[in-house]
A and B are shown apart, each in its own frame.
Chain A
Amino acid sequence: MKVGVLGVGQVPFTGPNDIPMGELGGRAARAALADAGIAASEVGMAAVGSVYEHPSVGQRVLLQLGLNGIPLVNLENACASATSAVIDAVRWIQAGEADVALAIGVDKMASHYSSGPLPLVNETDTFGAQGLTVPAYFGLIAEKHMAEFGSTREDFARISHKNRTYAEQNPFARFRKAPSLDEILASPVIATPIGKFDCCANGDGAAAVVLCSEAYARRHAAARVVWIRATELGGGVLGDRLDDDPMTGLARRAYERSGIGPEDIQVVECHDNFSIGEFEAYERLDFCAHGEGHLYLRAGKSAIGGKGAAFNPSGGLLGRSHPAGATGCAQIGSIVQQLRGAAGPMQHPGARAGLVQTSGGGVMELQSNATTVVILSL
């Protein structure tokens, strides 16, 4: 059954703020409902993603909307929590259990962790005990790519510069003034080759997506609807992600199921938690061959207006900042605006199909905790 996106909305992603978590999620949900042009009373179920909040986030958010008693699922899948919430909402509609479903992501990660590398779980974690930090894990992936394929620190800096420059145009991004390429290259090294500006920052924020059945969309607002074409969710896979990652298998399945391949996709929001993350996505989502990510970048193919797919036109995690539980809904929101042709100065010309990839980590012996791939089109 086809599922449509009727509305998207978010609050600005910021540093630590004093807006309570429930209200933050409520504001994002109201923005998405206003964008959809429907009342909260139309919502038949809600799926709410978060990572670092207290239990019962969804209940606190729905209180803000005056919504009582509807089916509600709280979801935690690390950084892929909000995308998982979207996928869950899609499933409820596909199952015929709801006509309209609301997916919300919310986190106040900047309030919980002001700066610096996120701590790993605890000292009984053998990776943490050996001195692993999250940036260093991505440093290990990047150093291998550099040694094997000839990419350089400057390539990673260019991704950071590209996405942070796009964020200047995104009113919801935390970072509205991009550093220069030289400033990025001169920033302190966190774990080679990753410098400070190759890392996304924690953020406080919330984003939401209103989804509906095909019949509801036809009755309501068919002209504005963006369709969900494929939704793939994979759990943890034991092993390191130096050479591969579950995103490849999930993306290929999504391409097969939707009949939309990378050559048909013009816009991508991928998980650039570190600049190497976007690099991985070029290759592992089959937008270029394995080991050629730097060539794809250097040819300008991942730029807005470039000859490939525009990656992270909203600024990505690098530009928006990363409230872990909210990111996926912001990614979906960006692609929906692109496909509507409503992305303003961030618009990639001729966008007809888009892809969202989100990878959540934290259990370090796994390639990722959860990986999601969503394909959308007009």
Chain B
Amino acid sequence: MRLRLAVLMFGLILVGAGCSGLQARGPMVATIDEKAAIADVQIIVLDKGEMTEEQARQALAENAATFQLYREAKTLNLFAYLFSDKTILVNATYSQLLDRTSILAATTLAISPSQDGIWVKATAKKQARVVLDVKAAKDGKESAP
């Protein structure tokens, strides 16, 4: 009995150790990595001043869709994560951050048609940093400044 308890405790420690507050499974892992890779390129292109206004507007639309995808895929429930179509397991902090970011991206996209190219490009860069934040969360790493 004691041995079983010890094995159980050790197993729980193993399961809990090193787990991020935001975890992904299946294709969502690759999706988060791919979106972050695109965001990396976007930041470089924006810094060089080589992104057109049209491309920046497209980025806002794609980012809004990405954050909406993350929001719909997330769950706080381990069983839903393991046995349903939910592919992102989060703690309460990350759940709120994904909700907030998705709402912010949707609102940003909604007002973007009335904004000029400078605003759109500045917003695209700030959004790209948050796309990278999501990957950092999944990887259990600190965000880039």
Q: Do A and B bind each other?
A: no
